[in-house]
Amino acid sequence: MFSRILRPKPAKSSPFSDFIRTAPAAEKKKVYAVVLKKATERQNKVEAVAVAVRQAR
């Protein structure tokens, strides 16, 4: 009886989750490559700022 009352409603799917479930592997690889490239660029910028701050001391 209480299981019906306390059971959470299923979450609505997002465009991201739909993509992950339905996109072909080749398309996912393309997206992952772009995401990893951008993440690496951002990390390199953060590291460069950290090095500049250390050198300024």
Would you list the DSSP string of 20-47?
HHHS-HHHHHHHHHHHHHHHHHHHHHHH
1-57 pLDDT, tens per residue? 566 677 777 888 999 999 999 999 999 999 999 999 999 999 999 999 999 999 998
pLDDT of residue 3: 66
- Sorted by sequence, the CB contacts under 8 Å of residue 31 that are 6+ apart come out as 19, 23
Closest CA to 13 of 5, 25, 4, 22: 22
Predicted TM-score (pTM) of this structure? 0.65
